Amino acid sequence: MTTVQDIAVMVEKLAPKHLCEDWDNVGLLVGERNMAVTGVLTTLDVTPEVVAEAEAKGCNMIVSHHPVIFKGMKQITDETTLGRLMIQLISKKIAVYSAHTNLDIANGGLNDLAAAQIGLANVKGLETVHQTGFCKIITFVPATHRDAVMQAMGDAGAGKIGNYSHCAFYTEGTGTFKPLEGANPYIGKVGQAATVKEDRIEAIVPKNLVNSVIAAMKDAHPYEVPAYEVHQLVTPSEEATIGRIGELADTLDTEGFIELIKACFPRGRARFGGAKPDAVTKVALCTGSGAEFIKKAAKMGAQAYVTGDVKYHDMQMAKELGILVADVGHFGTEIGAAQLLAAHIGIQMQEQEVTDVPVVVSDVHEDFFFA
């Protein structure tokens, strides 16, 4: 049986929750974590039409990019659009999980997808939004349970280094202890000193995941009171960035760049403004509403910037900065999230040999701008 929580874990392997901005609202927003999933529908937004589509296709879980609940709700009634939507979801027992700015920021997430659509090379982050320090967790476990404890710690986020996960180090040794009155030892007897062949496990962990990794370690550990240590590391640190900047394979003039963007984002309602450079070789982008990074893009040497929701005075500023801005619309830059999420969940299911839960992309969700 595949549960809502199982799907949540799959999504978080691509877009860890800790990457989201402080003002955001991500994760399981509607539903029961232990509910069995009959099907998953991915979408940009959760609308009444999308909910009806999910029900018609036998999907009792929706995974969206935009949070269905963004600001705090004080009441759920049929007197508001959002209240009616909540009632519709709850009454039909459809869960909703949302991955928003964490999906934008994540490596392999929505910003990287947009960079790939444009065909950028040598892609780097545009703006640093998080810098996470690391700790090292050390624990001691009987050799018979070493693999299970290492697996549990890795599943909780320990040992992720670059494109590798579950990285750890272990050494063999001998542990000694004496269970006292009231103890319930896994090995040994109360009142008698015990000597046990143990392995020492070491793994680095992002500081924000230390507590969850310790909890996972304890759950998998056979000892009544596991011994462990936590050491704060000076290095390494991990940067998370929003937006991307990279290089085109060929230099384009303004008209050539405009045609490229129209072809790359066919569902966007593209507008162009700012400056008209003779040559575009370096391009920056931020999916969604990213006008706030126009200055940063220009400072980093981009001749063009791609985003959505650009205002008149943003374009005026872009012209003064000498940078071409492509406003492809919020929908146009982010509709790829639905396909991205579906592809990722599908791969995770293949790896876990889940064959009885279909994953489908919404085909009813459309841009709220229609002309």
Q: pTM of the entire structure?
A: 0.81
212 and 77 part of one domain? no
**Residue 325 sits in a domain of what CATH number?**
3.40.1390.30
Query: 330 labelled as ligand-binding?
Result: yes
Q: Has 66 been labeled as part of a binding site?
A: yes
Residues 274 and 320 in one domain: yes
Residues 12, 94 share a domain: yes
Coil, helix or strand for 334? Answer: helix
- Is residue 86 one of the residues assigned to a domain? yes
- Tell me 41's DSSP state: E
Please indicate, yes or no, whether residues 326 and 338 belong to a single structural domain of this protein.
Answer: no
Note whether residue 65 is domain-resident. Answer: yes
Q: What is the CATH number of the domain that holds 188?
A: 3.30.70.120
Range of the domain at 78: 4-100+333-361
Same structural domain for residues 124 and 258? yes
Instruction: Output the tens digit of pLDDT for each of the chain's 371 residues.
Output: 999 999 999 999 999 998 999 999 999 999 999 999 999 999 999 999 999 999 999 999 999 999 999 988 888 999 999 999 999 999 999 999 999 999 999 999 999 999 999 999 999 999 999 887 899 999 999 999 999 999 999 999 899 887 788 999 999 999 999 999 998 988 889 999 989 999 999 999 988 889 999 999 999 999 999 999 999 998 777 789 999 999 999 999 999 999 999 999 999 999 999 999 999 999 999 999 999 999 999 999 999 999 999 999 999 999 999 999 999 999 999 999 999 999 999 999 999 999 999 999 999 999 999 87
| Together in a domain, 33 and 116 | no
Residue 105 falls within a domain, yes or no? Answer: no
**Residue 334 in marked binding region:** yes
Q: What is the rounded CA–CA span in Å between residue 247 and residue 16?
A: 28
| Tokens 């937006």 found at | 243
59 contacts 360 by C-beta, under 8 angstroms: yes
Inside any domain, residue 224: yes
